[in-house]
Amino acid sequence: MGKAARSTTLPLDLSPRACGGANTAKLVALQKTTAILTQAHAFFLDFLLAHNEKLTEKVVYFSEKHQELCERLLDANELRSWLEQCTVSTETRLAPRYYAGW
């Protein structure tokens, strides 16, 4: 059974605190978060560009509809899993092949 989800978007007033703007500590935290996300975006974009062959990699699968072996590109979940295996450390994989360094 599906779940209903609702998001509420609240505007963030970035004017100075004295003028009714956001708490300065929260504003600093938001700026640091933005910087980290920008670094992550750049890292993963550079990583994917350096490994662009993965974006065109094909896998063989059995098509129930056609009752034969077919080829298809990797789907988004398979690409994400590969990307995580290459870059994210876990309890069982302490040293990924590549490290973002942020």
pLDDT of residue 59: 93
**Rounded percentage of the chain residues whose pLDDT exceeds 70:** 90
The phi, psi pair for 61, rounded to 5°, reads: -145, 160
Q: What is the pLDDT of residues 35-49, one digit of tens each?
A: 999 999 999 999 999
Separation CA 82–CA 71 (nearest Å): 19
Place of tokens 């509809």: 65
Q: Give per-residue pLDDT as tens, 4-15.
A: 677 777 677 777
Q: Quote the pLDDT of residue 4.
A: 63
